[in-house]
Amino acid sequence: MQPRAKTIQIFLPSGDPQGIRQAEITTRIVRLIEVPRALLKDERIFAAMQGMLAKMVWQQFQRAASVGQG
């Protein structure tokens, strides 16, 4: 199998390349969120990450449920 070219889109929410980075493969449902260790001490960022994780899990659950109903 030959490797295929892929496009990776990178988003910098704060505009700082040393800060939080979000990357995704544009043709798939794959998203990576990288948070530097120094920012993990910030309670606001930690709380936001927990909220995002809960939202992603809920979306996956809804997708699975809708596929099962079809």
The 10s digit of each residue's pLDDT in 5-32 is: 889 999 998 899 998 898 998 888 888 8
The reply to whether 21 falls in a domain is: yes
The reply to whether 1 falls in a domain is: no
Q: Map residue 21 onto helix, strand or coil.
A: strand
Query: Cβ atoms within 10 A of the Cβ of 35, count?
Result: 16
- Domain coverage including residue 39: 8-69
**Lowest-pLDDT range, 13-27, 29-43, 47-61?**
47-61
Domains identified in the chain, total number: 1
The reply to whether 2 falls in a domain is: no
Q: Whole-structure pTM over 0.75, yes or no?
A: no
Total residue count of the chain as it appears in this document = 70
The reply to whether 41 falls in a domain is: yes
**Alpha-carbon distances of 21 from 3, 27, 28, 39, rounded to whole Å:** 25, 19, 18, 12
